[in-house]
Amino acid sequence: MKRSTISLMLAGGMLVAGQSMADDLLLWQDNSLTYLNGIDFKVDPPKQQTVTFEHASGWSFGDLFVFVDGIKFNTDATNNVGDGHTYYGEISPRLSFGKVTGTDLSFGPIKDVLLAATYEFGEDDNESYLLGPAVDLNIPGFDYFQINTYYRETDGKRDGSGVWQVTPVWSYTVPVGNSDVVIDGFMDWVVDNDDSYHANLHFNPQIKYDLAKGLGLGKKFYVGVEYDYWSDKYGIQDTQAFTTNQSAISLLLKAHF
């Protein structure tokens, strides 16, 4: 699938989202800011601070997830464009065939069938376009569990075109006293190689306690940790000469609004 085709479908999805907003078809939304302070990163400088804006929303035709990271390196080290900071973000709309057709598509553990797309963007000529089928699963105990399957095409210095990626996304809540511990996150698994982009697995869970609920303060405010495991980070094969297998941990503060 060519980049122009994927771009057109992404643009169409965003246009539909804009029209839907005008028609008051927004069902729910959640926004948050997260602060992370972590160590042991690879490829990039090892110590980093990150501020992340996240938006999630449900629509009468599907859902949307957006995040943008602003990253500051905690040392004098710089990245490959010569400065001490960078950014990265993703825009991920999904079209629900169940909602669009008004049909109950659930069977077995499957709740719904969707078309998922993602646009990835970042510093230094870093863009990727992803498109493919997805399912929402009904797994006892989980708040939600998605499996998104993408055909991945990447522009820039690391081409990465013609590879497939599987992305589970989940959330699980455990009541603790008068509050909750939430365990949520994602895994990006690029399952095959091309000439310049190695298969890799990025596993990124968060474990966080709702401090605001525990103190009876209303709006969600979490404290916790984020673990970031990434084998062959950025599709760069790990070698003895250059380590790209990452196992990093960050302290986390997250406020919803």
How far is it, in rounded angstroms, from Cα 25 to Cα 51? 30
Bridge partners (DSSP) of residue 189 are 166, 201
What's residue 156's pLDDT? 66
Instruction: For residues 207 and 188, give the distance between their C-alpha atoms in angstroms, rounded to a whole number.
Output: 18
> Tell me, what's the pLDDT at 20?
45
Say what the pLDDT of residue 7 is.
53
Residue 74 confidence (pLDDT): 85
The CA distance from 127 to 146, in Å, is 24
Pick from 231, 230, 152: nearest CA to 194: 152
pTM for this one?
0.87
Q: Are 61 and 94 in contact (CB under 8 A)?
A: no
Backbone CA torsion sign across 70, 185, 42, 124: negative
Element (H, E) at 44: none
Tokens of 252: 């986390």
The answer for residues whose C-beta is within 8 angstroms of residue 122's C-beta and 6 or more apart is: 86, 87, 88, 89
Count CB atoms within 10 A of the CB of residue 136. 22
76's CB contacts (< 8 A; 6+ apart) are: 84
Rounded distance, CA 256 to CA 33, Å?
A: 7
Instruction: Give the integer Cα–Cα distance in Å for 150 and 159.
Output: 16
Residues 6+ apart with CB under 8 A from 125: 155, 156, 157
Mean confidence (pLDDT) of the chain: 90
Residues with Cβ within 8 Å of residue 171, at least 6 apart in sequence:
142, 143, 144, 145, 182, 183, 184
Residues 142-163: pLDDT tens digits?
Answer: 999 999 999 999 886 655 568 9
Q: If you average pLDDT over residues 197-215, what whole number do you get? A: 96
Give 49-105 pLDDT, tens digit per residue: 999 999 999 999 999 999 999 999 987 665 555 678 999 999 999 999 999 999 999
Q: What is the residue extent of each domain of the chain? A: 3-256
The tokens of 250 are what? 């960050």
Give φ, ψ of 231 to 5 degrees. Answer: -80, 140
pLDDT digits (tens, 9 = 90+) for 35-62: 999 999 999 999 999 999 999 999 999 9
Of 155 and 253, the structure prediction assigns the larger pLDDT to: 253
**With bands split at pLDDT 50, 70 and 90, how would you rate the model's confidence at 16?**
low
pLDDT of residue 130: 97
Of all residues in the chain, the percent with pLDDT exceeding 70 is 86
Instruction: Answer whether CATH 2.40.230.20 is correct for domain 3-256.
Output: yes
Could you tell me which of 149, 145, 124 has the C-alpha nearest to residue 136? 145
